[in-house]
Structure 1
Amino acid sequence: MPNFPDHPPFVPRLEKTCFLVICRDGDGSAEPRATHLKGHLDHVEKYWTRYITAGPIREPGGDALVGSVFLVLADDLADAKALMEGDPYITCGMYETITYNEFSNSIGQYIGGKIWESAEAIAHRAAGGPTEDLSKGLNA
């Protein structure tokens, strides 16, 4: 694992909206998963720059796949759905449920730090203040 600083550095907020897409497998998903694997991989490789991360999920301690999670960049919900609907795993109907949620990618290794300068700025934004306050602090 790479060495990280003790405290996360400030990083710019992503320009595009992020969507967390959670897909839960239906009964009998192992066969369509195997059948459509190549098409699925072709799709995610073609659009790889639209994914922050993605991958299969399992129950804790389990071996069997129970679904997939995608963190995608999109202009809006329609754009996120259009991206996902091009994936053979979506079109083959193997998922029992698919949920879309807007996601604020705020801190972590993938983004290289955090998107706020101060707790006051993030509290101000959570109360409906402008996003640019996150990068400046409130009294900048």
Structure 2
Amino acid sequence: MGDYFFYCRDRDGSAELRDRLVEEHWAFMDRFADQMIARGPTLTADGETATGSVHIVDLPDPETVTTFGYGEPNYLAGIYRSVVIRRFVDLLGRTMWDFPGSRDEAGGRYLVLAHARPLIDWPGAALAEPDLDRQRLIAFGRLLSEDGEDWEGTAVIGEFADPETVRDLFAATGAYERIEVHPWTFGGRR
């Protein structure tokens, strides 16, 4: 059916429960390992505590999308306060496991979630995408409504020396109503 972007935001005070359920979460995600494009938690500014989970995955049908979003152990246990599900148009063409990594030590890894202004026609979304160094990107894509008719924004996971500069690049296009920047790290079994 296609690629989907999931961003599940944690409830305040759920870190201990999240830690207890990590094996159940990984076992659930193992079922989708071959379809995964990227995965990993967003983090507090100090990088110590998860604030949410990002998954970009190719799923075959609406039932599987629902199962992935709402049958996941963290969701069922009440860890997430919200779940965002969007169709994802991959603009990078590789998975996070193909990411070459940067050659310098400056910066960190971030999720940039740019929410489109209402009523912007998505075929014109390419004009809203700033020119980013693709060698530093882990995932990059357009976010669409469930039916694929409406452009709802852009999601980028990458290594950035200064995440505020990336926010400013997106803001300069004028196409985004709100731009979030979250520290992020690779997910999966460790």
Classify the TM-score, shorter chain: 0.5 to 0.7
Runs of 4+ in 1 over 6 A off after TM superposition: none
- Give the deviation of 1:78 after TM superposition: 3.8
TM (norm. structure 1) is 0.61
Larger relative contact order (C-alpha < 8 A, sep ≥ 6)? 1
Q: CA deviation at 1:80?
A: 1.3
Q: How large is the Cα RMSD of the aligned pairs?
A: 2.4
Look at both structures and tell me which one has the larger radius of gyration over its CA atoms: 1
Mapped partners of 1:109, 1:61: distance in 2: 29
- CA distance in 2 between counterparts of 1:101 and 1:126 reads 16
Is 2:54 aligned against 1:57?
no
Residue 37 of structure 1: how far off its partner (Å): 0.9
Q: Tell me which of 56, 60, 66 is aligned to 1:71.
A: 56
Q: Is the 8 A contact 2:69 2:85 kept in 1?
A: no
Deviations 1:19-55 (A, max 9, x none): 1100111021112101211111111123211321111
Alpha-carbon distance in 1 for matches of 2:27, 2:59: 19
Structure 1 residue ranges without an equivalent (≥5): 1-15, 113-124, 128-140
SS in 1 for 2:90: coil
Q: Report 1:29-40 matches (<5 A).
A: 29-40=14-25
Matches within 5 A, 1:1-140: 16-110=1-95, 126=123
Partner Cα distance (2:30, 2:40) in 1: 12
Mapped to 1, the partners of 2:53 and 2:4 lie a distance apart of 14
**Which whole-Å CA distance do the structure 1 matches of 2:70 and 2:61 have between them?**
14
Runs (5+) with no aligned partner, structure 2: 99-121, 125-190
Identify, as 1 or 2, the structure richer in strand.
Answer: 2
Do the aligned residues in 2 keep the contact of 1:73 with 1:80 (CA within 8 Å)? Answer: no
Structure 2 length-normalised TM? 0.46
User: Matched residue of 2:48: which SS?
Assistant: coil
Check whether the contact 2:8–2:52 (CA below 8 A) recurs between aligned residues: yes
Give the counterpart letter for 2:35 in structure 1. R
- Give the C-alpha shift of residue 77 in structure 1: 4.2
Partner SS, residue 57 of structure 2: strand
Please give the alpha-carbon distance, in whole angstroms, between the structure 1 residues aligned to 2:29 and 2:49.
21
